[in-house]
Amino acid sequence: MARPSSSDLLKIDNLLCFALYSAGHSFTRLYKPLLEPLGLTYPQFLVMIALWENDGQTVSDIGEKLLLESSTLTPLLKRLETAGLIKRTRDRDDERVVRITLTRQGAALKDKAATIPEAIGCATNLTINDVKKLTHEIAALRKTLQSALTAA
């Protein structure tokens, strides 16, 4: 197979990064009307999912899981706390550590959000196995890219 020319490589439709970026943008737009009744933005939804999986995490734990810096995560958490969905408390053993726990209202929101993954799944027109495979491949790509960043 012939190597593509530099002009072919620099076409927007041939850029993997643009395909991922634009798919991510489309996902965010698709989630918006599904999340509005819950009063959540997409990043807030991700935080809630992380807490529904494992309540009582530290800000650092959540940031690591979601690949978010503290400076991005802190305002999100403040808004979720203002909405009454989470509670932020200083760790008793180390006051520098902030622990995030769901409120009763935040925990109850999980039931209301339960239909969202199915709605997104229907919109992708992919089977569960296709979704798992694609998710695994993208996660592997992310890991490779993160390794390249740390090596640089």
Query: In this predicted model, what pLDDT tens digit does every residue of 75-93 receive, in sequence order?
Result: 999 999 999 999 999 988 8
Q: Is 5 a member of any domain?
A: no
Give the residue from 29, 66, 51, 42 showing the smallest Cα distance to 142: 66
Residues 81, 121: one domain? no
Residue 85, domain extent = 12-113
Residues 68, 92: one domain? yes
Residue 139, number of CB atoms within 10 A of its CB: 10
Residues 50, 83: one domain? yes
Q: Is 128 a member of any domain?
A: yes
Residues 48, 95: one domain? yes
Residues 123, 150: one domain? yes
Residues 101, 126: one domain? no
Please give the pLDDT value at position 4. 78
Please give the pLDDT value at position 135. 95
Q: Which residues of the chain have pLDDT under 70?
A: none
Residue 103 belongs to a domain with what CATH number?
A: 1.10.10.10
Residue 138, number of CB atoms within 10 A of its CB: 12
Q: Kindly report the pTM of this predicted structure.
A: 0.88
Residues 74, 128: one domain? no
Specify the residue for token string 């509005």: 36
Q: Is 18 a member of any domain?
A: yes
Beta carbons of 138 and 20 less than 8 angstroms apart = yes
Please give the pLDDT value at position 82. 97
Residues 89, 146: one domain? no
Side-chain-facing half-sphere of 30: CA atoms under 13 Å: 15
Find the helix packing angle between 128-151 and 116-124, rounded to 10°: 90
Please give the pLDDT value at position 93. 86
Domain count, the chain: 2
Which segments of the chain does DSSP mark as H helices, in order? 6-9, 16-35, 42-53, 59-66, 70-82, 104-113, 116-124, 128-151
Residues 92, 121: one domain? no
Please give the pLDDT value at position 17. 95
Distance from C-alpha of 78 to C-alpha of 36, rounded to nearest angstrom: 18
DSSP 88-129: EEE-SS-TT-EEEEE-HHHHHHHHHHTTHHHHHHHHHT--HH
